[in-house]
A and B are shown apart, each in its own frame.
Chain A
Amino acid sequence: MAEITTNTTTKQIGVKRLNKKSTKVDLTPMVDLGFLLITFFVFTTTMAKPTVMNVVVPNDKDSTIHDDVCSSCALTVMLDKDNSIKYFEGSAENAIVKETNFSAEGIRKILVDKKQAVKQARGNANEMVLIIKPMLQSNFQNFVDITDEVAINGIKKYYIDDAEL
């Protein structure tokens, strides 16, 4: 191993022996240091890897393109202040506006239920259209969260309506 074994048994007569010192080094502090550094690096390393999310925005320069949406397929969510969501089904006239939040019991359940309802009414869940209306007081997190819900629930058609902002 690290220490060099010195042969002490042989004796040479007539030769003056040098005072031999042990070459053993105490490696304990070295080990301490090693593990200290490991602990430091393990604790300071953030495991969270950033990821990217794709966003597609419509080309609205071409005003001739229209998408017809059946009124029973539409669900409008308005992102409001303090992470609250207001939503209504169908067209904006005489709609009943309800309030919810970003939890799994809140918006996710509403989206799943709406998809089911559209599937029953129209035979195809992909006809559902989600209209996202971020309000002035909403923040960037709200927008990412709702886009995330779209991905989680597999909603094929969604629009971001921020033209009035």
Chain B
Amino acid sequence: MGRAKLPRKSTNIDMTAMCDVAFLLLSFFIMATKQKPPEAVAVQAPTSVSSKAVPEKSILTTLTKEGKVFIMLGDDTKKAAILADINTTRGLGLTPAELTKLGRMQFIGMPLGTLKGLVNLSSPLPADKMEGIPIADSATNELVDWYRSVTNVYSGGSSKALEEMMLIKGDNLAKYPAFKNVKYALKKNSLYKFRIVTNSEITPVGSELYNNNRAGVDAAGEKLK
């Protein structure tokens, strides 16, 4: 008796298309992902309902939970000028070569007096070994000097541009008095407006801000653009 033969088909599937899709997706994700901006030290930033994005160029002051302060001085051209300014105003006696070395550091978190020694170290000091910029009391608050040099360098431009660049990033658990000392340094240099880096949070439903956002008006009751 003859048996009905089922036609046998190959189980090979052409994987090319699948492969194409996989790598297309991969390249999309890699390109769409923005690189995380470099950080001096990892801090857990608080959350806020603000929806403003972080500006590209900034003077970022980081406050860790131990109360240490680090500063990152924006783009390279201004950075060199800021370092040169603080070198002359505080008489640090750094040579141009040492200034270039200092400029290559992403952030600064040491007292001014130790900078000369720091750049001449054979191996770079890790961030967690740095003691931070002294801010403890108003007489020796070196952040005042840093901000003075920053304002000196940016004095030509609009003050609004500088205000938008002054970022403070603090850890959730940083003590308030430490933040007050940072604020003191800003005020001392007539910087009355600055920005705090936060993670975004959803606006609570039913609150005034939520209703304003839905109605498309800002806090003053004016239409948003």
| B214 interface residue (CB < 8 Å to A) | no
Cα A58 to Cα B183 with chains together (Å): 11
Which of A42, A53, A58, A104 lies in contact with B195, CB distance below 8 A? A53
| A45 interface residue (CB < 8 Å to B) | yes
Which of B54, B171, B204 lies in contact with A108, CB distance below 8 A? B204
Cα A52 to Cα B197 with chains together (Å): 4
A142 touches B176 (CB 8 A): yes
B176 touches A153 (CB 8 A): no
B16 touches A27 (CB 8 A): yes
B200 touches A51 (CB 8 A): yes
| A70 interface residue (CB < 8 Å to B) | no
Residue of chain B at shortest CB distance from A142: B176
Q: Name the distance in Å between A164's Cβ and chain B's nearest Cβ.
A: 11
Q: Name the distance in Å between A134's Cβ and chain B's nearest Cβ.
A: 4
Residue of chain B at shortest CB distance from A153: B208
List A residues 15-68 near B (Cβ within 8 Å).
26-28, 30-31, 34-35, 37-38, 41-42, 45-46, 48-60
| B25 interface residue (CB < 8 Å to A) | yes
List B residues 54-93 near A (Cβ within 8 Å).
54-55, 63
Given A52-B198, A151-B49, the answer on whether A140 and B183 have CB atoms closer than 8 Å is no
B183-211: CB near A (< 8 Å → 1, else 0) gives: 10011001011111111110110011110
Cα A52 to Cα B170 with chains together (Å): 12
Q: Name the distance in Å between B13's Cβ and chain A's nearest Cβ.
A: 9
| B117 interface residue (CB < 8 Å to A) | no
Residues of B within 8 A of A50 (CB): 45, 54, 197-200
Residue count of chain A within 8 Å CB distance of chain B: 52
| A138 interface residue (CB < 8 Å to B) | yes
List A residues 77-131 near B (Cβ within 8 Å).
79, 104, 108
Cα A55 to Cα B84 with chains together (Å): 29
Q: Name the distance in Å between A143's Cβ and chain B's nearest Cβ.
A: 6
Cα A1 to Cα B14 with chains together (Å): 8
Q: Name the distance in Å between B148's Cβ and chain A's nearest Cβ.
A: 16
B29 touches A52 (CB 8 A): no
Summarize B's interface: helix, strand, loop or mixed.
mixed
A41 touches B26 (CB 8 A): yes
Cα A143 to Cα B63 with chains together (Å): 14
Cα A142 to Cα B46 with chains together (Å): 9
| A71 interface residue (CB < 8 Å to B) | no
Given A51-B53, A152-B203, the answer on whether A143 and B16 have CB atoms closer than 8 Å is no
List B residues 1-38 near A (Cβ within 8 Å).
14-19, 22-23, 25-26, 29-30, 33, 36
Which of B16, B18, B52, B179 lies in contact with A51, CB distance below 8 A? B52
Cα A59 to Cα B193 with chains together (Å): 10
| B48 interface residue (CB < 8 Å to A) | yes
Residues of B within 8 A of A144 (CB): 46-48, 170, 196, 198
| B172 interface residue (CB < 8 Å to A) | yes
Which of A52, A58, A79 lies in contact with B54, CB distance below 8 A? A52
A165 touches B209 (CB 8 A): no
B48 touches A53 (CB 8 A): yes
Q: Which 6 A-B pairs have the closest CB atoms?
A: A34-B22, A27-B15, A141-B172, A144-B46, A154-B208, A140-B170
A interface list, Cβ under 8 A from B: 1-2, 26-28, 30-31, 34-35, 37-38, 41-42, 45-46, 48-60, 79, 104, 108, 134-145, 147-148, 151-154, 156, 162, 165
